[in-house]
């Protein structure tokens, strides 16, 4: 059984999927069950490497950056996407990123609280947890 907005990955082919509508069945890829991906938090931050999304707001413009220190965006090591959800899971905004781009997502919203998540191609999934989006920058 899955839950809305969970991520799963296939450890054989690299497929990475998000649950849009939850169901009862088990997700299978390449002939084996897919692995549920849990987002890491600040407590697991590595030395010299910052991944936890940082949320701030200027008026109605929400801004999510990856790491208090900008994360590398090199060909071999980069952020693949940044996603923001409302805590009630009614709204989802995702931006896909590519090497050499700035790891930032900006958009206008009236939200008070959000959860931001990002995927590093080497270090996996990270979350801000439920964050007050009214913090001004």
Q: Using alpha carbons, list the distances in angstroms from residue 111 to 20, 54, 62, 96.
A: 21, 15, 9, 21
Least Å distance, CB 94 to Fe ion, is 18
**Quick check: 123 binds Fe ion (CB under 5 A)?**
yes
Least Å distance, CB 71 to Fe ion, is 6
Rounded distance, CA 29 to CA 11, Å?
A: 9
Rounded distance, CA 89 to CA 83, Å?
A: 12
Q: Which is nearer to Fe ion, 95 or 123 (CB)?
A: 123
Rounded distance, CA 120 to CA 98, Å?
A: 11
Q: Which is nearer to Fe ion, 28 or 122 (CB)?
A: 122
Q: Which is nearer to Fe ion, 40 or 123 (CB)?
A: 123
Least Å distance, CB 73 to Fe ion, is 10
Sign of the Cα torsion 60, 19, 96, 121 reads positive
Q: Which is nearer to Fe ion, 57 or 71 (CB)?
A: 71
**Quick check: 120 binds Fe ion (CB under 5 A)?**
yes
Residues of this chain that bind Fe ion (CB under 5 A): 120, 123
């Amino acid at each position: 059984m899955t839950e809305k907005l969970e991520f799963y990955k296939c450890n054989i082919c690299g497929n990475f999927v998000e649950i849009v509508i939850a169901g009862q069945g088990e997700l299978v890829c390449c002939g084996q069950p897919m692995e549920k991906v849990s987002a890491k938090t600040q407590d697991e931050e590595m030395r010299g490497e910052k991944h936890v999304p940082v949320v701030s707001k200027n008026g109605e413009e929400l801004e999510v950056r990856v790491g208090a220190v900008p994360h590398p965006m090199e060909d071999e090591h980069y952020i693949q996407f940044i996603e923001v959800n409302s805590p009630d899971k009614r709204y989802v905004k995702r931006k896909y990123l590519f090497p050499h781009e700035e790891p930032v997502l900006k958009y206008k919203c009236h939200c008070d609280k959000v959860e931001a998540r990002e995927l590093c191609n080497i270090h996996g999934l990270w979350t801000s947890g439920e964050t007050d989006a009214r913090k001004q920058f």
